[in-house]
Amino acid sequence: MAKVSCIIPAYNEESTIAGVVKTCLKTPEIGEIIVVSDGSTDKTVDRVRQIKSKKIKIINLPENHGKGFAVAQGIKEAKNEFLLFLDADLINLEPHHLSSLIWPVINNRADMTVAIWGSFSPNVLYSWQLNGQRCLEAKFIKRFLKELSSSKYGLEILLNEIFKNKRRVN
């Protein structure tokens, strides 16, 4: 059933990366996990290496290029039909959260899903448009690798622009 490549860009996320990766390993739809360390100077890579699984691939970039570049590197290595993008700093993440992002795309009910998890407060500004947790079809986004690579930290804005007029991806 594993049809999804999960790409996790990470910059100095040693305290949270293991939890995100372990949750991915418990999610049956995920066939591979690609952690892209974007020039991390802490123990992010070491924390991932401590988790023994053939599903995990680490790309260790020697310097920081920005989230868009890191995600593009992960996409280049991805082998599955669908892509799941996750931020490396998520806490309290559970497999059902990931499945809820994955299933609408796998079942061709959505071109892209964007996570909105947790509780909301009127005193907190929260924008789903800048959320890094997304699932989409790999064949579509691979056409935009150049734009993704140069998007730096505007990855989510670029993805919104790409998908804003789409209903179905052919």
Beta-carbon contacts of residue 41 (< 8 Å; ≥ 6 apart)? 12
**Domain ranges, ordered by start, for the chain:** 4-163
- Kindly report the average pLDDT of the chain as a whole number: 87
Q: What is the pLDDT of residue 114?
A: 87
- pLDDT for residue 30 is more than 90: yes
Which strand ranges, in their side-by-side order, compose the sheet holding 82-85?
56-61, 30-38, 4-10, 82-85, 134-137, 112-114
Both tokens assigned to 25: 């390993």
Q: Which amino acid is at 96?
A: H
pTM of this prediction? 0.87
For residue 141, the 8-state DSSP code is H
In our burial notation (b when 16+ CB lie closer than 10 A, e otherwise), range 127-161 reads eeeebbbbbbbbebbeebeebbbebeebbbebbbe
- pLDDT for residue 132 is more than 80: no
Scan for tokens 């909105």, then name that residue.
116
Contact indicator for 64, 32 with CB cutoff of 8 Å? no
Strand pairing class (82-85; 112-114): unpaired
Q: What is the pLDDT of residue 125?
A: 41
* CA 154 distance to own-chain centroid: 14
- pLDDT for residue 127 is more than 50: no
Domain 4-163, second-level architecture: Alpha-Beta Complex (3.90)
Q: What is the pLDDT of residues 31-53, one digit of tens each?
A: 999 999 999 999 999 999 999 99
Q: What is the pLDDT of residues 84-104, one digit of tens each?
A: 999 999 998 999 999 999 999
Tell me which of 15 and 142 has the higher pLDDT.
15
The angle subtended at Cα 165 by Cα 160 and Cα 168, nearest 5°, is 100
Distances (CA, A) of 9 to 52, 57, 69, 168: 19, 12, 9, 27
Taken in order 132, 136, 142, 144, is the CA torsion positive or negative? negative
